[in-house]
Amino acid sequence: MPARSGTSIRSFDIMARSAPPPLLAADIAAALAAGDHGDPFAVLGPHDVGKETRIAVVLPGAESIEAVDQETGATLCRLDPVVDGVFCGSTADIGRDDPYHLRATRGDDTWTFDDPYRFPPVLGDQDEYFLAEGSHRHLWEALGAHPVTHCGVDGVHFAVWAPNAKRVSVVGDFNTWDGRRHVMRGRGATGIWELFVPGLGDGERYKYEIKVANGDVLPLKSDPVGFGGEHPPQTASVVRDLRDHQWRDQDWMAERQRRNAVDAPISIYEVHLGSWCRKPDEDNRMLSYRELAETLVPYASDLGFTHLELLPISEHPFDGSWGYQPIGLYAPTIRHGTPSEFRDFVDACHAAGLGLILDWVPGHFPTDRHGLCRFDGTPLYEHADPREGYHPDWNTLIYNFGRREVANFLIANALYWLESHHVDGLRVDAVASMLYRDYSRKAGEWIPNVHGGRENLEAIDFLKRMNETVYGDVPGIMTVAEESTAWPGVSQPTSAGGLGFGFKWNMGWMNDTLSYIAKDPVYRQHHHNQMTFGIAYAFSENFVLPISHDEVVHGKRSMLGKMPADGFDAFANLRAYYGFMWGHPGKKLLFMGSEFAQGREWNHDAALDWHLTDQTPHGGMQRLIGDLNRLYRDNPALHQRDARSDGFQWVEVDAADESVFAWIRYGNDDPSPVLVVCNFTPIERSARRFGVPASGHWREAINTDADIYGGAGRGNLGGVDTEPVAANGFDQSVSITVPPLSALFFVAER
């Protein structure tokens, strides 16, 4: 074809070779459109191109986009479509660091928004260092979803750990759950991905879309450090603003250390919030945190309890797990309200003089696809080998405690509840399952440790570091271990070779005494040691005596249902048992409903049978628990030396044929010891003599057979006087009427 006049073929060739390159290469645009680009900040947002600023945007569904002046709305730059959903343009009217808005159109719709890719990172070098090292104690301040003001703009900063992901996007209603629109910035070796999304705030639903190395996209994941969740069965995380709560518990916090001490009176009311009480006239709904603050808190306080303990309130997908299979360790469950409302509940507890303990589950997590299971396509939080990483009993996964980032995630979570929510203590669930690699496993189903043993060395180290950290960082708190074996030093300091817990549940005492009390009284003389054996090791740990939820469910029957008789004797048996428990060394824990002798087993789907408290034996039991709590709290002899052998002395230990037990409790600050006498037969012991360490009048402070408790009213007319008659190794003694199936408390008056 001949050239046009004045132009040669050679000239056309030169012009073609010197034409400016496209603003955005087609292959890069295609990768952005497909959500395959692993480094969107290298392309999207403003970039210098010669003397102009290039702006690239991914917005599937838009027909046109302009960069506009933030104040006037005047057009600064038109962005042309490169491929479907990807737009690019350039202008000399703004610099790379100048603010601008984007205006998009689709049909008759026009909307304006801020470009998330024009903002620098939120996380700093120090955050990166501590995250990489696995030592970021305030992990929740770096990861998760935080409403913030960044570069003068309000929005939400998202950050998540997914080191093996090819690409991570935050998705939600704000981007029609489209993972191409908000691809996050990778932070290199830390494995952290972050993105500031302007214009978002509290209440926004979101998840993470993760593309793995082979290009597969995982099921959408909830945020491991999310502070809120949707109402189950929905599973999205929800942005919650944790800033600026106005705490009102300064007085409580100032004296918390005294209230949580080993020598303090600690009587715990264990509660499952979802079934303590419900609203039957409102579709049987659960109570909110604020309603519980108005009902549960004064109830527990009026009954003389010193602490509430809540079954796990971390977000969990299945009601039937009672919270022990949590998905969102950092999120108070939305079943009862928002984090702000939960903090109001904590404030109410403290205003009423109640400490708050949470059940905490670092031992395992469920396999739900939206949770931590293979979070970035790899066994990230769990072990790869099921012989280390799978719980056969609970169909759950086990945390890899030896991985520094996982241990950091869990230790920071403990600090989060104690610091950010002013919680007073954590009861650590299923510690025994963490300590032993062969827990509930047959031969060949577990892997020995590096020394060939069964101890889980990584879990042991984790528990020690957790306790060292929380006790070191948060004054006055307590940790409690549910540990069912004879592992030594659970509640001893780590410096002395212990695990560092403040207290340990006394599961042996619980099993022995419940076995005894369930027997017909005629056979109890043959099992006398079940009630006395606990003293042999009572001072080896700082013990809590637990009558917990596990003892009144799954066919174990209620506390009243465990008694070997019916009617009057069943209540008398249970009253005597509670007297034995409150007089025995060790802090106290009682599960809800047991305080008024609910007849049926606990049902997590239904409220307690509160109507029973209007009936004399049930209401009397409730009154007894209140009086026992007040006696225990007000008499130093009953609590100050709970963990010291010099606070206890047997008076009558071998009266097996009578099923009678008697002992003295001593305190530090009060010269008045307390005599406790129990009779576990239906036979009255008249004029039964017991030696005592002090002469004078001994006031009958509690008699579980009193008519106000539903008993027969037999007793000692308010007290007894000593006589110079030697008994039980003492020079002085008292003659007491011990009613059938009863426990008596006598306080020396000086």
- For 375-394, write each residue's pLDDT tens digit: 999 999 999 999 999 999 99
Please report where in the chains the tokens 């940790």 appear, as a residue.
479
- For 497-552, write each residue's pLDDT tens digit: 999 999 999 999 999 999 999 999 999 999 999 999 999 999 999 999 999 999 99
Query: Does 125-238 match 22-118 at the fold level?
Result: yes
At 713, phi and psi to the nearest 5?
80, 20
Q: Domain 644-749 class?
A: mainly beta
Percentage of the chain beyond pLDDT 90 is 92
pLDDT bin (cut points 50, 70, 90) of residue 96 is confident
Average the pLDDT over 232-253 and give the result: 96
Q: What fold, for 125-238?
A: Immunoglobulin-like (2.60.40)
Nearest to 33, CA basis, from 22, 42, 21, 44: 44
User: What is the overall mean pLDDT for the chain?
Assistant: 95
β strands within 595-731, DSSP E: 648-652, 660-665, 674-679, 685-692, 697-703, 719-721
pLDDT of residue 509: 98
pLDDT higher than threshold 90 for residue 19: no
Nearest to 702, CA basis, from 670, 668, 739: 739
Q: CB–CB of 703/715 below 8 Å?
A: yes
pLDDT of residue 15: 43
Nearest to 200, CA basis, from 224, 215, 182: 182
Separation of alpha carbons 22 and 27, rounded Å: 11
pLDDT higher than threshold 60 for residue 13: no
- For 414-457, write each residue's pLDDT tens digit: 999 999 999 999 999 999 999 999 999 999 999 999 999 999 99
- Which residues are known catalytic residues? 429, 482
1 or 453, higher pLDDT: 453
pLDDT of residue 23: 79
pLDDT of residue 22: 66
Q: CB–CB of 210/191 below 8 Å?
A: no
pLDDT higher than threshold 90 for residue 569: yes
β partners of residue 736: 688
Runs of H (alpha helix) within 496-652: 507-517, 521-524, 529-532, 534-537, 559-562, 567-583, 616-634
At 88, phi and psi to the nearest 5?
-150, 145
CATH 2.60.40.10 describes domain 22-118: yes
pLDDT of residue 4: 42
Q: Where do the structural domains in the chain lie, given as residue ranges?
A: 22-118, 125-238, 644-749
pLDDT higher than threshold 70 for residue 7: no
pLDDT bin (cut points 50, 70, 90) of residue 363 is very high
Which residues touch 378 (CB under 8 Å, ≥6 apart)?
164, 212, 384
Average the pLDDT over 258-275 and give the result: 98
Highest mean pLDDT among 32-41, 620-629, 664-673: 620-629
Separation of alpha carbons 718 and 705, rounded Å: 13
Q: CB–CB of 384/454 below 8 Å?
A: no
pLDDT higher than threshold 60 for residue 14: no
pLDDT higher than threshold 80 for residue 670: no
pLDDT bin (cut points 50, 70, 90) of residue 21 is low
Q: CB–CB of 148/229 below 8 Å?
A: no
pLDDT bin (cut points 50, 70, 90) of residue 93 is confident
pLDDT higher than threshold 80 for residue 10: no
Separation of alpha carbons 407 and 703, rounded Å: 50
Nearest to 122, CA basis, from 99, 149, 100: 149
pLDDT bin (cut points 50, 70, 90) of residue 567 is very high
pLDDT higher than threshold 60 for residue 401: yes
pLDDT of residue 18: 45
pLDDT higher than threshold 80 for residue 27: yes
pLDDT of residue 12: 44
- For 570-603, write each residue's pLDDT tens digit: 999 999 999 999 999 999 999 999 999 999 999 9
- For 113-159, write each residue's pLDDT tens digit: 999 999 999 999 999 999 999 999 999 999 999 999 999 999 999 99
